[in-house]
Amino acid sequence: MKATLAALGRAAWAGVDPEGFFRRHAADPTPFSVRFPGLGEVLFVSTADGARDILTAPAALCRAPLPNPIEPVVGQNSLILLSGEAHRRARSILTPPFRGDLMRFYVDMIAEAAEEHIADLHPGDQLLVGDAAQAITLDVVIRVVFGVTDRSRRREYARVTSQLLRSGSAVLMLVPWLRRDLAGRGPWARLVAFRAQLDSLLSEQIEERRDSGELGSDVLGLILNATDDEGNRLGDDVLRDQLRTMLAAGHETSSTSLSWALHHIHRDESIRAKVAGELAAAATPADIAALPYLGAVIQETLRVHPTVPIVLRRLTGPLTVAGVSCASGDVVGIALPALHFNPSAWSDPESFNPERFLDAKPPPFQYAPFGGGYRRCIGAAFAHNELAVAIGTIMKTLELRAPADARRGKSPRAVPRGIATKPSHEIALDVIARR
């Protein structure tokens, strides 16, 4: 009984305060287990060697761990949930639009989205960082991924998407038996209705593109024009699931990273001054995306606050992970907060120090905010550029300052939000001037 209660307590702590829970294991190289409802026992590692064992395991030995609580929002065909040959084929179509060399087509739209959402702020106002970050990153997905240029239609996409993501409450996502339609009422009915509204918008956008014959250079256009190695295109149901995944995963993860980055920049005057100094010489969004110190700030933000704190695999065959023999069916994972705070790998890991990323490039198994191996996030390069351009555009437009108590006090905790984590309370920055 005591062991069961202890296991439930560990799972609850990991769910409510993932950074705090997993950082406790940063100094201990021993793998540890946490039992999650619906998923079972997960063996976690916190070292680069353990991460290497998981991330270099052959695709034939690993599957996405199912059931996954985000399935009601993203759909069963989501790249996040696919495994095996279906995952490989979908990835071969979805990866090319996010190549780093295509960023030049996207950075101007990212800057425009950021400018639009801070246009009404003036000295004496406050920038509510979380609200602004959500609005900017959602608008970026709608413009860059879906190619929606009409302002009223973008607002409609934003409204429906926000309602869908809010309807996916933690309880509804984690407890499958609550997913019942009670005569068209209740939380499950609302989620299904909002998902249907979004799918209707997506279907309309897809058909308009096909009918026009001009697919365009945005992500949707490139996907519509792409085939796998057997010449097959994505079916409409699969395509809608992938687009919803980009909305949920891309928007929520970038939003929380943007919030944390602005928080840390304005919490430390020396960091803020260095970023501002770099930005003074950046004339275009493309220049901003290439700034080394700003890039290091983003990398350090993702080290300290990995937006998705765990990387999971379900084994389909035997595998030794960090010296532990695991069997087919076992679930293994990387605890990113522990890996990223491991004192044997990181000097003074508790400090927010962007310079560590200017001095050397960390090994891929020591630093893995986007996962790794054959399941590494396809949007990693896009996310980095999105964050850099959004931060740079905001700071080139507004002079901001954190209130004195925010600079002196502790940083917010990271708490779960949908697919990602977010600061536990809103971060407010004072607007000192418009530049």
CA 21, CA 332: separation in Å to the nearest integer? 17
CB 26 within 8 A of CB 46: yes
DSSP helix/strand/coil, 227: coil
CB 136 within 8 A of CB 258: yes
* Residue 377 assigned ligand-binding role: yes
CA 317, CA 65: separation in Å to the nearest integer? 14
Q: Which helix (H) or strand (E) holds 257?
A: helix 251-267
Q: Within 13 Å, how many C-alpha atoms sit on residue 21's CB side?
A: 20
What one-character-per-residue DSSP string does 2-57 give? HHHHHHHHHHHHHHH-HHHHHHTTTT--S-EEEEETTTEEEEEE-SHHHHHHHHTS
Q: Which helix (H) or strand (E) holds 432?
A: strand 428-434
First to last CA, the chain: 62
Residue whose structure tokens are 């499950």? 188
Q: Within 13 Å, how many C-alpha atoms sit on residue 321's CB side?
A: 31
User: Of 145, 124, 121, which Cα lies nearest the Cα of 132?
Assistant: 121
Peptide bond into 67 cis (omega under 30): yes
What one-character-per-residue DSSP string does 98-146 give? G-GGGGGGTHHHHHHHHHHHTTT--TT-EEEHHHHHHHHHHHHIIIIIT
Annotated binding site: 377
Annotated binding site for heme: 377
